[in-house]
Amino acid sequence: MNLYRAHVLVCGGTGCHSSNSDKIKEKMEDRIKEKGLENEVKVVMTGCFGLCESGPNVVVYPEGVFYSHVKLSDVDEIVDEHLLKGRVVKRLLFKEAVEENIIKSVNEVDFYKKQTRVALRNCGIIDPENIEEYIAYDGYQALARALTEMTRDEVIQLVKDSGLRGRGGAGFPTGLKWDFTKKASGDKKYVVCNADEGDPGAFMDRSILEGDPHSVLEAMTIAGYAVGSDQGYIYIRAEYPIAVKRLQIAINQAREYGLLGENILNSGFNFDIELRLGAGAFVCGEETALIESIEGKRGMPRNKPPFPANEGLWGKPTLINNVETYANIPVIFQRGVDWFRSIGTEKSPGTKVFALGGKIENTGLVEIPMGTTLRDIIYGIGGGIPKGKDFKAVQTGGPSGGCIPKEYLDTPVDYESLTKLGSIMGSGGMIVMDEDNCMVDIARFFLDFTVDESCGKCTACRIGTRRMLEILEKITSGKGEPGDIEKLEELANNIKDSALCGLGQTAPNPVVSTLKYFRDEYEAHVYEKRCPSGHCRRLVTFVIREDLCKGCGLCKRNCPNDAITGEVREAHVIDPEKCIKCGTCIEKCPFGAIEKR
Amino acid sequence: MKSIEELNKIRQEALAKMNLRTDEERIRIVVGMATCGISAGARPVLTAFLEEVSKRKLENVVVSQTGCIGLCKLEPIVEVYEPGKEKVTYIEMTPEKARRVVAQHIVNGNVVNEYTIGSYKSE
Ligand SMILES: Cc1cc2nc3c(=O)[nH]c(=O)nc-3n(C[C@H](O)[C@H](O)[C@H](O)COP(=O)(O)O)c2cc1C
Ligand code: SF4
Ligand code: SF4
Ligand code: SF4
Ligand code: FES
Ligand code: FES
């Protein structure tokens, strides 16, 4: 056995991969060889570290030195200085990893220190393409225990006792779902993993699959044993090529090691898993539409009931869980129900992974115990709002969710609290908005998404959401009329009540929640033809303040449409007829004399 | 693989290789590897430590390197940090001395006094 004195972990998640982390890994290995260090230093490609914005990211163990924004041209310096001579390359350290000249290890950085990694426990730590690294970190121990020491009912009881709830959005108790599927009558049953992940900006599930694919395979196999199924499917969008590739490698390795296939661990239990690629329609994440799609039909939702647990894939009882839900299963078996319940809250035990985005210092993937407040996530881990701007709202749950305003920043994140505020936990999208965001426009953005993604099966959703979008477009372009707001509310209620599937039923949420907390912004647009945040271009006018203008002429020279006139050292003026509202002049004015009104 | 025993065997072996990637407290053997250290022969010392630690399957030991320790004329210098104990500094190390440090100090807990910086001063 060859013992290495240092491991260099290069992030191979989608984010870092797109900025050439694979080439960095190659070059690193070449340089290490050149320096004769290949028997001392090992280079490993891992899944996402969660800080994709500052990628490509590299961590060197045993010290835990965290390099970010690593370029191909930095590789030689890291090898020659750090790996050969032991001198950390300070200029490449992640910005928060140096404090008063002390270099912090990766786990000491605030962004990680405040997280609790359960579903992401192995992401960024193990090589996802090497089953032995997963096994080293207790992988497949849960399956071994379930198959050799536990009855099917005991397995289900354990999942029930853990209190685990579905991470795909609705928060349905996982153990209960397993029980329904086990009790459903039928000789053939299926286990499905929902990896469709269609929320704009969400990449939690992708990161788990890229960073720790075996945890999902192991959990599905345990589920198969519990419900009495011998065939699993992972439904994943084709736009996730890295995740697809790593899953396929993982499946092949698990088969090779006898952890998938016939007579697993000599228990007499057979189980296999196959991938099914989706075209990436949002509605295909809805479980019944997903089933139709696997069956080769067009992905349109079915009526419920019957629920998939009774009549799912090809009419057979089918268990469907989300990627993150599965990723929690093996570790619950390893560390026990009491441990799991000690994290999070009474009704929402465990953690939740969020994709933190928008107007926030550290965008990225974070995993926090349920019950953590929005404030802790946004300010503690996320590092707050950039450029000293004011926080306005946070959007959770993507197109099915809502906006939560400042007053509720101290709300603990759990299923019930978020629902009470008119939003939802959802699958884990979390978008932060500051004073420059227009809430009407945010609602428009999400409605635009749903209108595109509606499958068209029912009128309420197909026509209703389009009507809502038209009204929102009218309002944001300054053509809103009295009665529009009321019309939006009426449509929202109708769609909620009559849409067939969750997509339509929740589509009005972004409008309803912004109307609830930011009605004044809607009213300003409609009645005063004014956008309070200055975002809606067609509703703002650019004006030069006579008292502040020094007549330097910079704005005039930079205006692309010659909309500004004025003599040197005299106040300038903008011709509103000519101004195309590009904003250049505001940026250029050295005296802050130009305002949006 | 057909048994839990086999699974556990793979686990043990793979874990030993990944031992580095945690924050847990371990014995750290640090070799000074700045320019002076390298020219004084620090690399063979480092390699000897690695071989010895790996041969003996010492799981709670990491071997790493550092920059200039500031005593060029005593290089190669090796520092041993044990959780809860004072740092021990060995000087003018060679691969042979390294093997003895592992056997005597790391495994059995007896500092090899004759190689330490303390004994140099008292000479
Ligand atoms: C429009 C729509 C899209 C959905 N998209 C997803 C998705 O991308 N991933 C997912 O796991 N669940 C999605 N769901 C929820 C699934 O229908 C289902 O509830 C979930 O996969 C169950 O797994 P869980 O209990 O583990 O959360 C979606 C639901 C709706 C209505
Ligand atoms: S609510 Fe919308 S997405 Fe769902 S079935 Fe009806 S038309 Fe299709
Ligand atoms: S916003 Fe653009 S077009 Fe309008 S005055 Fe300023 S620079 Fe000219
Ligand atoms: S850049 Fe500012 S100060 Fe200069 S002329 Fe324009 S408005 Fe006046
Ligand atoms: S992909 Fe590298 S940190 Fe996310
Ligand atoms: S429509 Fe955007 S702030 Fe107005």
Reported as a single tens digit per residue, the pLDDT across A352-370 is: 999 999 999 998 899 999 9
Residue-level pLDDT at B118: 76
Q: Whose CA is closest to B2, among A258, A356, A379, A544?
A: A258
| DSSP code, position A115 | -
Distance between Cα A198 and ligand 2 center (Å) = 15
Give the CATH superfamily of B22-119. Answer: Glutaredoxin (3.40.30.10)
Cα(A330)–Cα(A325) distance, rounded to whole angstroms?
A: 10
- Give me the residue from A7, A105, A148 closest to B23, CB to CB: A105
Cα(A296)–Cα(A317) distance, rounded to whole angstroms?
A: 18
Residues 6+ apart with CB under 8 A from A49: A11, A13, A16, A55, A57, A59, A123, A124
Cα(A181)–Cα(A159) distance, rounded to whole angstroms?
A: 14
Please tell me the CATH code under which domain A439-527 is placed: 1.20.1440.230
Q: Which residue has the tokens 């629920």?
A: A307
Please tell me the CATH code under which domain A541-596 is placed: 3.30.70.20
Cα(A365)–Cα(A375) distance, rounded to whole angstroms?
A: 16
Q: Do B64 and A5 touch (CB under 8 A)?
A: yes
Contact A292, A299 (CB under 8 A): yes
Please tell me the CATH code under which domain A6-108 is placed: 3.40.30.10
pLDDT band at B123 (very low <50, low <70, confident <90, very high): very low
Is the CB–ligand 2 distance for residue A503 below 6 Å? yes
Which regions in chain A score pLDDT beneath 70?
A: 1-2
Could you tell me the two tokens for B40?
Answer: 């004084």
Cα(B64)–Cα(B60) distance, rounded to whole angstroms?
A: 13
Q: Where are the domains of chain B?
A: 22-119
Please report the atom of ligand 5 found closest to the CA of residue A15: 1
Residues 6+ apart with CB under 8 A from A116: A343, A351, A367, A368, A369
Ligand 6, atom 4: nearest CA belongs to which residue? Answer: A531
Question: Both ends of chain B: CA-CA distance in Å?
Answer: 60
pLDDT band at B24 (very low <50, low <70, confident <90, very high): low
| Buried-state track A247-258, b at ≥16 Cβ within 10 A, e below 16 | beebbebbeebb
Contact A436, A533 (CB under 8 A): yes
Could you tell me the two tokens for A582?
Answer: 């590009």
Please tell me the CATH code under which domain A131-339 is placed: 3.40.50.11540
Q: Do B21 and A61 touch (CB under 8 A)?
A: yes
Q: Do B14 and A136 touch (CB under 8 A)?
A: yes
Cα(B96)–Cα(A340) distance, rounded to whole angstroms?
A: 50
Residues in chain A with CB shorter than 8 Å from the CB of B20 are 4-7, 61-62
CB count within 10 Å of CB A121 equals: 22
| Buried-state track B61-89, b at ≥16 Cβ within 10 A, e below 16 | bbbbbbbbbeeeebbbbbbbebeeeeebb
Q: Taking CA B28 as the corner, what is the angle to CA B22 and CA B34, rounded to the nearest 5 degrees?
A: 110
Cα(A135)–Cα(B9) distance, rounded to whole angstroms?
A: 10
Q: Taking CA A373 as the corner, what is the angle to CA A370 and CA A378, rounded to the nearest 5 degrees?
A: 110
Q: Taking CA A144 as the corner, what is the angle to CA A140 and CA A149, rounded to the nearest 5 degrees?
A: 150
Residue-level pLDDT at B122: 44
Cα(A514)–Cα(A396) distance, rounded to whole angstroms?
A: 12
Q: Do B10 and A132 touch (CB under 8 A)?
A: yes
CB count within 10 Å of CB A551 equals: 16
Closest-CA distance of chain A to residue B72, Å: 14
Q: Which residue has the tokens 């300054």?
A: A478
Could you tell me the two tokens for A523?
Answer: 């009213």
Residues in chain B with CB shorter than 8 Å from the CB of A84 are 33, 38, 65
Distance between Cα A246 and ligand 1 center (Å) = 22
Residue in A500, A506, A509 to alter for ligand 2 test, most ligand atoms within 8 A of Cβ? A500
Residue-level pLDDT at B61: 87
Closest-CA distance of chain A to residue B82, Å: 15
Q: Do A87 and B34 touch (CB under 8 A)?
A: yes
Q: Whose CA is closest to A135, among B54, B58, B25, B18?
A: B18
Contact B65, B32 (CB under 8 A): yes
Residue type present at position A470: E
Tell me which fold the domain A351-434 belongs to.
Ubiquitin-like (UB roll) (3.10.20)
Could you tell me the two tokens for B4?
Answer: 């839990």
Residue type present at position B81: Y
Cα(A245)–Cα(A219) distance, rounded to whole angstroms?
A: 19
CB count within 10 Å of CB B102 equals: 24
Q: Do B17 and A136 touch (CB under 8 A)?
A: yes
Q: Whose CA is closest to A132, among B10, B17, B6, B4?
A: B10
Could you tell me the two tokens for A377?
Answer: 């996530």
The strand pair at A594-596 and B61-66 is best described as: unpaired
Contact A219, A178 (CB under 8 A): no
Contact A32, A79 (CB under 8 A): yes
- Give me the residue from B1, B33, B67 closest to A257, CB to CB: B1
**CATH 1.20.1440.230 domain residues, chain A:** 439-527
**Average pLDDT in the B20-48 region?**
78
Contact A9, A125 (CB under 8 A): yes
Distance between Cα A70 and ligand 5 center (Å) = 12
> Which ligand ends up closest to the CA of A501?
2
**CATH 3.30.70.20 domain residues, chain A:** 541-596
Cα(A207)–Cα(A192) distance, rounded to whole angstroms?
A: 19
Residue in A485, A539, A596, A597 to alter for ligand 6 test, most ligand atoms within 8 A of Cβ? A539
- Neighbour order of strands in the sheet with A190-195: A272-278, A231-237, A190-195, A318-322
- Which chain B residue lies closest to A127 (C-alpha atoms)? B18
Q: Is A318 helix (H, G, I), strand (E, B) or coil?
A: strand
Residue-level pLDDT at A201: 84
Cα(A368)–Cα(A438) distance, rounded to whole angstroms?
A: 28
Residues in chain B with CB shorter than 8 Å from the CB of A62 are 20-21, 26, 28, 62, 64
| Buried-state track A316-345, b at ≥16 Cβ within 10 A, e below 16 | bbbbbbbbbbbbbbbbbbeeebeebbebbb
Distance between Cα A14 and ligand 5 center (Å) = 6
Cα(A535)–Cα(A596) distance, rounded to whole angstroms?
A: 9
Global ipTM: 0.84
- Give me the residue from A107, A136, A263 closest to B15, CB to CB: A136
Consecutive H or E run containing A11: strand A6-11
Closest-CA distance of chain A to residue B5, Å: 10
Q: Do B64 and A138 touch (CB under 8 A)?
A: no
Could you tell me the two tokens for A76?
Answer: 């030689």
Q: What is the pLDDT of residues A88-122, one digit of tens each?
A: 899 999 988 877 777 777 878 888 888 999 999 99
DSSP letters for A529-566: ---TTS--GGG--EEE-TTT-----HHHHH-TT--EE-
A551 sits in the region (left: phi over 0; alpha: psi -120 to 50; else beta) called left
Residues in chain A with CB shorter than 8 Å from the CB of B28 are 62
**CA torsion, ordered A31, A33, A39, A41, to nearest 10 deg:** 10
Residues in chain B with CB shorter than 8 Å from the CB of A214 are none
Peptide bond into A56 cis (omega under 30): yes
Cα(A112)–Cα(A124) distance, rounded to whole angstroms?
A: 12
Is the CB–ligand 1 distance for residue A364 below 6 Å? no
The strand pair at A272-278 and A231-237 is best described as: parallel
Please report the atom of ligand 6 found closest to the CA of residue A444: 1
Consecutive H or E run containing A66: strand A65-67
Cα(A115)–Cα(A381) distance, rounded to whole angstroms?
A: 8
Q: What is the pLDDT of residues B60-116, one digit of tens each?
A: 888 887 766 666 677 888 989 888 788 888 988 999 999 999 999 999 888 998 888
Q: Do A135 and B46 touch (CB under 8 A)?
A: no
